[in-house]
Structure 1
Amino acid sequence: MRFLVAAFAACTVLSACQDPAGVGLGLIDEEQLDPSVRTVALSGLGTTPDTTIAIGIADGTNTDLLQTRVLVGSVVDPTYGDARARAYVDVIQAANLPSDATAEDVTAAWLVLTQNYVYGDTTTTLPLELRPITETWFADTDYARDRTLSTGDVLATTEVSVADSLRQFDLPASWVAANAATLVGDGFLDAFEGFAIDIPADYVPAPGAVYGFSTFASTGSGLRVVVGEDTLVYPLSEVFSSVTSGTASTPPPTALPVRNNSGLAVGFEVDFSTIGASALARARLRLPLDESFAAEGPFVRPIPARSVLYGINDDGRVALAEVLYVDGELSVTNTSILTPLVQRILLDPSTGFDRYEVLPSSGTTSLDILPIRLPSVGTTDLPRFTLTVVGGTSS
């Protein structure tokens, strides 16, 4: 369902009529001073369905499926909606597993995860449980974002807080003995389905938190298996964060209610026809943020350092440029990418896109928010494109 800001065009026209300076000259900083700058407002700014695939893999061999983090926890958040996350991780055998290893050589195992993210109350100490996954699952399957997998009984427990880095689940000797042959066997990939990391069923968030863990072996995450005299690292492979999001009871009144993994993205349209077939020196996308929602005391809602701008047309979604979070706004300033794109559209409008979307960077699973400021009466810092034309003069 789209959340349209229908009043934007009317407010812009009204402001231009009431203020001799006009909105185009009142949009702040260098845009007021450079007569070559043209401002193009975004229309239909609001939310749109996020159709990205939630499941992925933990290594860099397939960038479309890369997932660098898994999420676990539960948080109460009336502003952006409650969230509940479960992590599922599979592993591959160690590259240096001896070819002659036997079940008798396997004597211990433990899972290590590196905590590197938190959304919610940063004073929360979160209890965690480790269970075996008991069904077959695949990283190339487009599971629903809130899909859960079947699991067995609790194998190990631990706790995580903001102060923790490496968290360790020590697997019981009974599990090690029962799985020793599988861990060193030729049929490991088909026989082993990995682990689920979750909170206890009776955990009540108040308001709680969702923690994130790196999927990269280089950060320390992975299954450790003692084989003979050596401790081998079984890196994470397939990974999936099952996230259930609730509806915000008091959504932000001044910013878009967009949070990663909630099923929503930022959407908008742009009409460059008012500029005409001009020669372009620079194009910039500016999306001012309401940063007041990023932190409320110890309760934090991270804003992604990097997002991605997509163009949408009949052929699907095309990644256009990286969007950076700098000085209170999201922006695309890379002239080598965005400027040629907009120049092409100015010269041939048929090469443009039906609409545009902004999503947190693919591969970084999170609950990051995109609190893009909503246009309103009296607001001059609006979401917009600014185009610097060659030889332009103020109109």
Structure 2
Amino acid sequence: MRPKTKLIHGGISGDPHTGAVSVPIYQVSTYKQEGVGGHKGFEYSRTGNPTRHALEELIKDLEGGVRGFAFGSGMAAITAVMMLFNSGDHVILTDDVYGGTFRVMTKVLNRLGIESTFVDTSDLANIEKEIRPNTKAIYLETPTNPLLKITDIKAAARLAKQHGLLTIVDNTFSTPYWQNPISLGADIVLHSATKYLGGHSDVVAGLVVVNNEKLGEDLHFIQNSTGGVLGPQDSWLLMRGIKTLGVRMEEHEANTQKIVEFLSEHPAVTKIYYPGLATHPNHHIAKEQARGFGGMVSFDVGSAEKADQVLNKVKFFTLAESLGAVESLISVPAKMTHASIPKERREELGITDGLIRISVGLEDVEDLIEDLKQALEV
């Protein structure tokens, strides 16, 4: 199946019992057994639910993996993946990861003895020099949040295999419509499905796909043991959102390219971060490993005061956390998504107080450009 067809017909389609074209919402906690252990594939909805299972089968197919898992949020998914490791294990992560990822690694999982080092993974030499005897995995965001850095997934996975490490990729920004890390050598792919996969600002969820049965069994044990599962209503909403992912991602990108052209010529913008620009670092890698550049753009207006002016004046860009929705969203990472990262560390990374991140939506692009134009005026 081609990508758009797979979005609609992948996983489990419809209901064979009634002919319903949509998988039903199985709003149930437990299941009748004919005898002890004699169930029909489901025994308790923390362990497995038919609606959640349909979603997990769908994301498995979309990412080209062996098993899929649905969690109550992206952070629940990340935490479950990190529970594959033991006290004393070490993980190398991309330096400008989402602030919540940085927070859980440095404020929660470190208390359980899981060590982490953050490096600029867009340069593989930075990864290699941080590998220790106790290193177990390389965790990549590509493109990153919010600087849109690009890491060569295939090369990083090759390096990981040389050292017996797992490669984990957060594929939230690209989605499986544009990028499939497992086909490039990754072992685990995860998503904040709250974003593009849901696409309508109405569900919070996390998804994980693994590339082998052993990882699948281990992660299912963790999912069942810790219980951070996605409910059936949200699973259904997510499957509904995924059906239109292809047409949405194409429109997001078309709008984004026109906005980037506008921002590139505006005197108030000092720097633009977008992988689709030929001048963007590792643009050639992004072009090779992904089929599109996405709908996320970050740009610097030079100061916190100027950034505040833009936020206060925009009309069609909603000031809000999150991204990937049909409506355009705007934020200042230093004060919002990455506020949990210490200021000195943010400045070191280039996440300045004047950096604005926009998630380009599906509105008429001329309205969005006019909105940014008036907001940027002195």
Q: TM-score, normalised by structure 1?
A: 0.21
Structure 1 or 2, whichever has the larger Rg, is 1
Question: Highest relative contact order (Cα 8 Å, sep 6+), 1 or 2?
Answer: 1
Task: Considering fraction of residues, name the structure with more strand.
Answer: 1
Structure 2 length as normaliser, TM-score?
0.22
The structure richer in helix per residue is: 2
